[in-house]
Amino acid sequence: MAGMTSSVENGDLGNNTLEPAKNNKVVWAMVAILAVYLLAALADLPQRATQIAVEAHTVDSAASGTVHDALDHAVHHGALAGANASLGTPSVPPYWSVTPFVLLLAAIALFPLIQVTEHWWDSNANRFKVAAVLAAITLSYYAFIHSTSVEAHWPSHQVIAAGESFFQTGFVGAVLGNALLSEYVPFIVLLFSLYTIAGGIRIEGDLQANPMTNASFMAAGGLLASFVGTTGAAMLLIRPLLETNKERKHVSHTVVFFIFIVCNCGGCLLPIGDPPLFLGYLAGVDFTWTLGLWEEWLFVNGLLLLAYCVADQFFFYPQESLRDIKRDITQTRRLQISGLALNGPLLLGVVLAVALLDPKKEVPGTHWHAWMYLREAIQLALVTLALYLGSPRLRQKNDFNYHAIVEVAVLFLGIFVCMQPALQILAEKGEVLAKSLSPAGFFWATGGLSAFLDNAPTYLVFFMSAQDPTMMGATGGVPEMILRGIALGAVFMGAMTYIGNGPNFMVKAIAEKSGVRMPSFFGYMMYSSVVLLPILALMHWRYLPPEDAAPQTKQVVVAASSQQTLAGVQQAAAGTPPTRTTP
């Protein structure tokens, strides 16, 4: 593509020119990955992983109905102390262990602002070096310093006890499993699939770039985000929005509001809209429960659109020169959509794969559980079809390249690993929060951390801390109003920073590649603090209960997780330790 140099020439990752579909290296990479998965399936590996996950999930479900009886029995018969001793209850890492995570956030925020590192940081290869070094430091803490048990969540929940060797391979494996196999792989495959397939749809045209036109793009994206995901909606609409505004000099504020609405706040109506809601669906929340958030969705997005129209109409648009405005008015073309016939069904296929192929749940209408990572394999197969059958010419017109998704991939690789100590600390403190916070408190606590941690795992930690395993219903065992606070905080306040949600970074990168000078990390936070935060405060006042409506305190008898409690008590009473000790 014009203006792009190859990755070989500049040492960057993902900033490569497109090749014809049949010779596209990415296609062959996808074919290789799918071939490896097929070989693994022939060896029965994903099937066995699914069986382990399903059996653990079945045990957890059966245990939830009798956990309190078992605890009472253990207390009366003196088995509780033995359970705690044999479980090797995981302890909270020291606060200094979050230093690599803080340094990575500081690098993301400051390196683009420092003259010495500004251009160096533009390379995804250099971003990867920083992320990899800091992730290695975090893993070194678990390998050589951490001495008490660690919870593992992939493919099933278990507690890994310390081994006798100097290098704790079990701890490193548990952390990598939690960070990469459980969270990062599904996260990045979904983003990559939506990004790549949507990149083959060309919405071409040049409308007059006035406030109402830009607000219309955002409104359409805010509605679409709940049905094709925030990533899919953002990738579909950011390029035509940028093309419409190419005659204007002041565009960065438009992209910021686009991130607020399309990349975040628009995606709260269905679980496929935003990753944290999808995790809630996997944890037991009904698929249609989030439709009940439509009033908050309409309130927040409506006020954001109003704020944009006022700001653009009365402040930014008048600053445009008369020559640019005249050129914008005269050089208009009707919108035309190309590539939808192929890529539209493929996007729908991604949505269906994500919604239906959870290994822990039966495929609707059957008694069959999808193989582990079959969901991701199907998504990659759909990407392969999009690249092989789609028109390279449309992607060239879209200025499509992999730089933005590679930027997200390398940075979030480091983020997912480095934030493991922070998540462990948060999980421990989460039980304290669950005893005292109101729904509004959960909203601000979940949202405040979602702005700096990824909003998906943050949502899950607060969800688990508020979950009562004896409750049944549409909310997965979490009281209705508390779940509303958690869901709204994770989705809406993921827009507070560039790192709160995956699509934020991608849109920023695409805009910068198109010549838009985007705000720095802290400059973006100025926008979110001045515009988004007051709107969220109004939403809190309008829709969430008063601060004194705190939830009923849950009795926490054993410091181990709810998934482990019953099994630990029963096995301790029988004299069999439930932990797995590493070599």
Grouping H, G, I as helix, E, B as strand and the rest as coil, residue 79 is: helix
Among 224, 232, 237, 308, which residue's Cα sits nearest to residue 266? Answer: 224
Categorize the per-residue pLDDT at 49 as very low, low, confident or very high, splitting at 50, 70 and 90: very high
Please give the DSSP secondary-structure letter assigned to residue 13. S
Amino acid at 202: R
pLDDT digits (tens, 9 = 90+) for 159-195: 889 888 889 999 999 999 999 998 889 888 988 998 8
The chain-wide mean pLDDT, for the chain, equals 82
Cα–Cα distance measured from residue 147 to residue 165, given in angstroms and rounded to the nearest whole number: 11
Distances (CA, A) of 512 to 163, 239, 404, 519: 48, 12, 10, 10
Quote the pTM value: 0.78
| Beta strand 202-206 pairing with 580-581 | unpaired
Sheet holding 150-152, edge to edge: 150-152, 158-161, 580-581
Q: Report CA-CA distances (Å) from 264 to 182, 222, 451, 526.
A: 23, 8, 11, 17
Q: How much of the chain is helix, strand and coil, in % rounded to 5? A: 70, 5, 30
**In 3D, which of 265, 270, 269 has the Cα closest to residue 308?**
265
pLDDT, tens digit, for every residue of 203-232?
Answer: 887 777 789 999 999 999 999 999 888 988
Which helix (H) or strand (E) segment holds residue 143: the answer is helix 124-144
Q: Would you state the pLDDT for residue 183? A: 83
Band (pLDDT 50/70/90 cuts) for residue 21 is: very low
* pLDDT tens, position by position, 110-137: 888 788 998 999 899 999 999 999 999 9
Rounded-to-integer distance, Cα 505 and Cα 191, Å: 12
Instruction: Give the separation between CA 266 and CA 260, rounded to whole angstroms.
Output: 8
Name the DSSP class of 390. Answer: S
How many whole angstroms separate alpha carbon 268 and alpha carbon 516?
28
How far apart (Å, rounded) are the C-alpha atoms in residues 545 and 506?
Answer: 35
Q: Which tens digit of pLDDT belongs to each residue from 315-370?
A: 988 887 787 777 767 777 788 889 999 999 999 999 899 888 888 888 888 999 99
In 224-331, at which residue ranges do the beta strands (DSSP E only) sit? none
CA distance 127 to 109: 12
Question: What DSSP string describes 94-125?
Answer: PGGGGHHHHHHHHHHHHTTTSHHHHTGGG-HH
What distance in Å separates the CA atoms of residue 327 and residue 271, rounded to the nearest whole number?
Answer: 42
pLDDT at 504 over 60: yes
**Using the 8-state DSSP alphabet, how is residue 552 labeled?**
P
Local structure of 423: helix, strand or coil: helix
Tell me the pairing of strands 158-161 and 333-338: unpaired
pLDDT for position 19 = 54
**Structural tokens at position 78:** 């003196």
**Contact between 169 and 583 (Cβ < 8 Å):** yes
Nearest one of 256, 241, 214 to 529, comparing CA atoms: 256
Residues in Cβ contact with 117 at an 8 Å cutoff, skipping those fewer than 6 apart: 110, 111
**Which one is predicted more confidently, 457 or 138?**
138
Residues 6+ apart with CB under 8 A from 171: 142, 143, 146, 150, 160, 162, 582
Query: How many residues does the structure list for the chain?
Result: 583
pLDDT at 66 over 60: no
Cis peptide before 155 (omega within 30 of 0): yes
Half-sphere exposure of 360 (CA within 13 A, CB side): 18
> What is the arithmetic mean of pLDDT over 396-418?
87
Hey, what are 527's tokens? 């926008």
Instruction: State the virtual CA torsion across 507, 511, 512, 517 in degrees, nearest 10.
Output: -110
